Amino acid sequence: MTKLRAAMLQTRVFADKMENIREAGRKLEALEAEQVDLVTLPEMFNCPYQTPNFPVYAEPQGGPAWTACADLARKHKIYLSAGSMPEVDETGRVYNTAYVFDRQGRQIAKHRKAHLFDIDVKGGQCFKESDTLTAGDQVTVFDTEFGTMGLCICYDFRFPELARLMVEKGAKVILVPAAFNMTTGPAHWEILFRCRALDNQAFVLGTAPARDPSSGYTSWGHSIAVSPWGDILGQMDEREGCMIHTLDLERAGEVRNQLPLLKHRRKDMYRLEEC
């Protein structure tokens, strides 16, 4: 199968952790007639994006939020990229973790955000995820009936080597739950996603929370889908909503054959580690 029908849900984040999942369920019910294959949710879709919240909202893998997302994937027979949520491990360390579930509700991917968002922009945003989060250390790809896909979270996507490693492992689609803010969003959101898609000749889907000016962290929104040629297939505004696109994955192969950037890489010069 080469044509993937993907729905991106730009959702509001409520203070009630499980209400966010119930809301996602309502939106999936409304999508039933669309016959989508994949649904993507935003970064920290069930936790207000503030560092003190992460340990409070955190659950172990297999907890209530994880189970509810697995149930939604199974009920609607979709691949569900369940945004990201706070995860706590057996030692008490907290991670920003993205899970993907298959059509049977089985977990097929897990990515812990590897690059923590510690920034202080003069006159703009100051944020330090490392106050409460621990960094992951894995390059994450997973297999589907449509082929291999990659998965990372927000700030991870600013590091070109990570996207390239996912592509080296076979990814033709990269899923990025992300929550850019009102400083970085206007400046970098669109150009970053277009550059990563263009450089890696892959589809990229960036799914953001809807904007809530009353929240402690205001999301830029603007969930975006970009083709392997660097074209914007669609971009939302700041409001809640859903965007659906059919991705023809043969297009990635066509672009890579016609403009063989990946084959023309000079690994003898770059001294890149083989995947």
| pLDDT at residue 272 in the model | 56
Q: Is 154 a catalytic residue?
A: yes
> Crossing angle of helices 160-168/184-200, nearest 10°?
30
pTM summary value: 0.95
Residues of the chain with pLDDT under 50: 275
| pLDDT at residue 72 in the model | 98
Pairing of strands 3-10, 38-40: parallel
CA-derived radius of gyration, the chain: 18
| pLDDT at residue 2 in the model | 86
Annotated catalytic residue: which of 17, 27, 113, 172?
113
Q: Is 126 a catalytic residue?
A: no
Helix (H) / strand (E) containing 56: helix 53-57
Average pLDDT of the chain to the nearest whole number: 95
Residue 192 phi, psi (nearest 5): -65, -50
| pLDDT at residue 119 in the model | 75
CB under 8 Å to 123, separation ≥6 — which residues?
A: none
Burial 230-246 (b: 16+ CB within 10 A, else e): beebebbebebebbebe
What CATH homologous superfamily does 3-263 map to? Carbon-nitrogen hydrolase (3.60.110.10)
Annotated catalytic residue: which of 43, 87, 129, 238?
43
Indicate the SS3 state at residue 134. coil
Answer whether 95's CB lies under 8 Å from 134's CB.
yes
Q: Is 113 a catalytic residue?
A: yes
Here the tokens at position 20 are 């966010």
E-strand ranges in the chain read 3-10, 38-40, 79-81, 85-88, 94-101, 107-112, 118-120, 126-128, 140-144, 147-151, 173-177, 203-207, 224-226, 232-235, 241-248
| pLDDT at residue 120 in the model | 78
Here the tokens at position 111 are 């990515």
CB atoms within 10 A of CB 76: 18
Annotated catalytic residue: which of 47, 69, 152, 154?
154
Answer whether 234's CB lies under 8 Å from 224's CB.
yes
Answer whether 28's CB lies under 8 Å from 58's CB.
no
CB atoms within 10 A of CB 160: 13
CB atoms within 10 A of CB 60: 10
